[in-house]
Amino acid sequence: MACASRREVRYQNLHNRLPSRENVAVAMNSVQRNVVIAGFMGWTLDAFDYFILIFAASAIAGDFHVERADVVFAVTLTLLARPIGAFVFGLLAERFGRRPMLMLDIALFSFFELATAFAPNLTALFILRLCFGFAMGGEWGLGSSLTMEIIPEKSRGFVSGLLQEGYACGNLLAALLYWSLIDTIGWRGMFVVGFVPSLLVLYIRSTVPESPVWQQTQARPAHERNVFTVMRGYWGRALFMIVLMTLFNCFSHGTQDLYPLFLTVEKGFKTDMVGLLGTIGPIGAILGGLFFGALSQRIGRKRAIVIAALLSLPILKLWAFSSEPWMLGMGAFWLQVMVQGAWGVVPVHLNELSPDALRATLPGLSYQIGNFISAGVPWVLTSLAEANHKQYGLTMASFIAVVAILLAIVTALGPEAKGQRFGAAETEAPLPGSA
């Protein structure tokens, strides 16, 4: 009884230290809440468009009479193009503002998503997904910098988890679309539905202000905003961020991108079961991102990432080697709690490590260069699994175990800037609509 009582006290102490959703909401005014909604929806719908191809890969392969691995190469092309988009849109946002470039970016990736629905062959699909990757590459850096520069410092951890789990929500929406409509509207219809994100531009235009930190930065002399001047003393940190994000992208792509193929090819499940199990992981991801994002506000960014990464290891057996659907579902849920729990800290961690004048560029570019380096992961793992008697579970689990350990080590050895103040005046900037 005494032990149980002590456990209850420890749990209550931890619970009290975590910022609740209600407290975070109260800490923000209506303008800041609109910014968070826009940032979350932008990444949700971006990921939704990305995952449509993941779920539709087998159907596309059948339609074009090619191998699954050939279609999965389109995912690799998307990942390869994302750093270019992050760099171009990031620099444009440093000059012209976060808000207008975010609207342009969302309109662009929505257009290429719609165009994919009319691809006549595999070559056209490759070209369109390359263009989609360019546009997709810009959204994360623009959305996260705009949000982090506007919200209060004490809300960053929870909001970071919320923003990043827009990715998991996009995955969930794509899984639900596949589960409910693939047999009715086909893979081309799924890409038509993927045009919906373009409507978010109207919401941003009417409710979201420009970043006050960006406005302050524009008041500085031009030579102080020069890329090479700003990066003086940051090159080592930028290299660390790229290495970190390479491991993070291997962590997520290795557990998510091939999961539908794992269920279809190795486990032999039909569309209904693949779609159902595909919705379970994203639910765990959302909860994990929110929990570890909020936890990082108390125990630090690095410590939260390390804990989540290492806790993924004992779950791999349940996730990859179970035979019963309910056990596979439990494995998918808890693995994504840890994988996306670690990811939930990424937006705030990278933004705090970056200088004001390059905050729309450096976090997003580091993220997408990491994506570029890890772009071959889906194709390589697919090829290895197919060559190894279609053992997708063993291939993915072995890869993720190594990545999780390396991620924990690199994170622990790297820098942290929790609580970094944003803005030229080192004060929280006033916002339109503030009380």
Give mean pLDDT, residues 181-207: 84
Give mean pLDDT, residues 408-419: 94
pLDDT at 428: 38
Give a yes or no: residue 1 inside a domain. no
Residue with tokens 């506000």: 297
Which helix (H) or strand (E) element contains residue 273?
A: helix 271-299
Give a yes or no: residue 242 inside a domain. yes
Q: Residue 211 — φ and ψ, nearest 5°? A: -65, 125
DSSP 137-165: HHHHHHHHHHHHHHS-GGGHHHHHHHHHT
Give a yes or no: residue 21 inside a domain. no
Q: Using CA atoms, how far apart are residues 428 and 392, in angstroms rounded to an integer?
A: 49
Give a yes or no: residue 433 inside a domain. no
Give mean pLDDT, residues 230-252: 92
Residue with tokens 């006033």: 430
Nearest-10 crossing angle of helices 271-299, 166-193:
150
Q: How many domains does the chain have?
A: 1
Q: Are 32 and 150 within 8 A, CB to CB?
A: yes
Confidence of residue 434 (pLDDT cuts 50, 70, 90): very low
Characterize 167-205 residue by residue with b for buried, 16 or more Cβ atoms within 10 angstroms of its Cβ, and e for exposed: bbbbbbbbbbbbbeebeeebbeebbebbbebbebbebbe
Give a yes or no: residue 422 inside a domain. no
Give a yes or no: residue 123 inside a domain. yes
Q: Are 247 and 408 within 8 A, CB to CB?
A: no
pLDDT at 7: 46
Q: Using CA atoms, how far apart are residues 356 and 360, in angstroms rounded to an integer?
A: 8
pLDDT at 375: 78
Q: What is the CATH number of the domain that holds 249?
A: 1.20.1250.20
Percent of the chain topping pLDDT 70? 91
- Three-class SS of residue 184? helix
Confidence of residue 389 (pLDDT cuts 50, 70, 90): confident
Residue type, 346: V
CA 230 to chain centre: 26
Whether pLDDT at 126 is above 50: yes
Whether pLDDT at 425 is above 80: no
Give a yes or no: residue 8 inside a domain. no
pLDDT at 271: 75
The boundaries of the domain holding residue 145 are 28-413
Characterize 54-90 residue by residue with b for buried, 16 or more Cβ atoms within 10 angstroms of its Cβ, and e for exposed: bbbbbbbbebbeeebbbbbbbbbbbbbbbbbbbbbbb
Average pLDDT, the chain: 85
Confidence of residue 272 (pLDDT cuts 50, 70, 90): confident
Whether pLDDT at 3 is above 60: no
- Three-class SS of residue 13? helix
Q: Using CA atoms, how far apart are residues 40 and 62, in angstroms rounded to an integer?
A: 34
Whether pLDDT at 8 is above 60: no
pLDDT at 406: 97
Give mean pLDDT, residues 145-168: 91
Q: Per residue in 245-264, pLDDT tens? A: 999 999 988 887 788 888 88
Q: Per residue in 316-357, pLDDT tens? A: 999 988 888 889 989 999 999 999 999 999 999 999 999 988
pLDDT at 295: 96
Which of 214, 71, 80, 236 lies closest to 147 in space, CA to CA?
Answer: 214
pLDDT at 19: 52
Question: CA-CA distances (angstroms) from residue 78 to 116, 131, 343, 393, 401?
Answer: 12, 8, 20, 24, 25
Give a yes or no: residue 315 inside a domain. yes
Q: Per residue in 346-373, pLDDT tens? A: 999 999 999 988 898 999 999 989 988 8
Whether pLDDT at 426 is above 70: no
pLDDT at 6: 52
Whether pLDDT at 135 is above 70: yes
pLDDT at 207: 85
Whether pLDDT at 159 is above 70: yes
